[in-house]
Structure 1
């Protein structure tokens, strides 16, 4: 009989082959560190986010279901975070003054994905499904 707590060779091999969860970025913690100051600790957005501030820019919108984040696919959202809002909007020919800074020199794509996954985890199932379809349409996946 084996001592309690020992692993079989197969069990040890399975554990060694599993990805290290500790190495996965913590989307909630990263959101709090990089996004919450502007978009709110609970994804609620800045107060009066629909009204331009003194600089003419709209304050940071919410990332919960009341905002418009879910109206965009993952590729667009990742690009927006990586390059900043203005660069993306300029490339699209959209005449809009975005205050969203670029985080591409600060966050990796995996970290941005973890943040977006955290944001999406807070949405109702119906909203997650709509956003998922938008992401599929972006990538051409049926």
Structure 2
């Protein structure tokens, strides 16, 4: 009787694209520019799916509990740059406040709040969008 072929276990973890220097800078930038709306821990507004009286959506969680991880990095960057008003929210544009490096640092900090599984799925979606991320060697 033939022995079954056993494949080696496949690692589900994916090396993240950012480094700890980016995360540290991103934390400071997030607390300064984003925490007043998205909360210091990126937990957002509890009723983020429900429009307010003004018809606008409140700040969503960025910690993996909402839809942020559904979007490729290019969309996340564009949302920070252009703001959320075109998407039905109230987030202002940060194009005149944050440069691309600072936006990347904030997104790195945000992604530290995502579980390995959420990050893995995001990484696959991001790659399918044509923008695979390489781990950063320098901040």
Q: TM-score normalised to the size of structure 2?
A: 0.73
Q: Tell me the equivalent position of 2:66.
A: 67
What number of residue pairs does the alignment pair up? 113
Highest relative contact order (Cα 8 Å, sep 6+), 1 or 2?
A: 2
Uncovered stretches (5+) of structure 2, i.e. residues with no partner: 1-19, 133-139
Q: Secondary structure at the match of 2:128?
A: helix
Give the number of the structure whose alpha-carbon radius of gyration is greater: 1
Q: Would you tell me which structure has more helix in proportion to its own residues?
A: 1
| CA deviation after TM superposition for structure 1 residue 122, in Å | 1.3
**Aligned residue number for residue 112 of structure 2:** 121
Taking a change above 3 Å as real, the CA distance of residues 27 and 140 of structure 1, as seen in their structure-2 partners, is closer
- Following TM superposition, where does structure 1 have runs of at least 4 consecutive aligned residues deviating by more than 3 angstroms? 21-25
For normalisation by structure 1, the TM-score amounts to: 0.71
- Structure 1 residues without counterparts, runs of 5 or longer: 1-20, 90-96
Q: Describe the SS at the equivalent of 1:139.
A: coil
Q: Distance in 2 between matches of 1:98 and 1:133?
A: 27
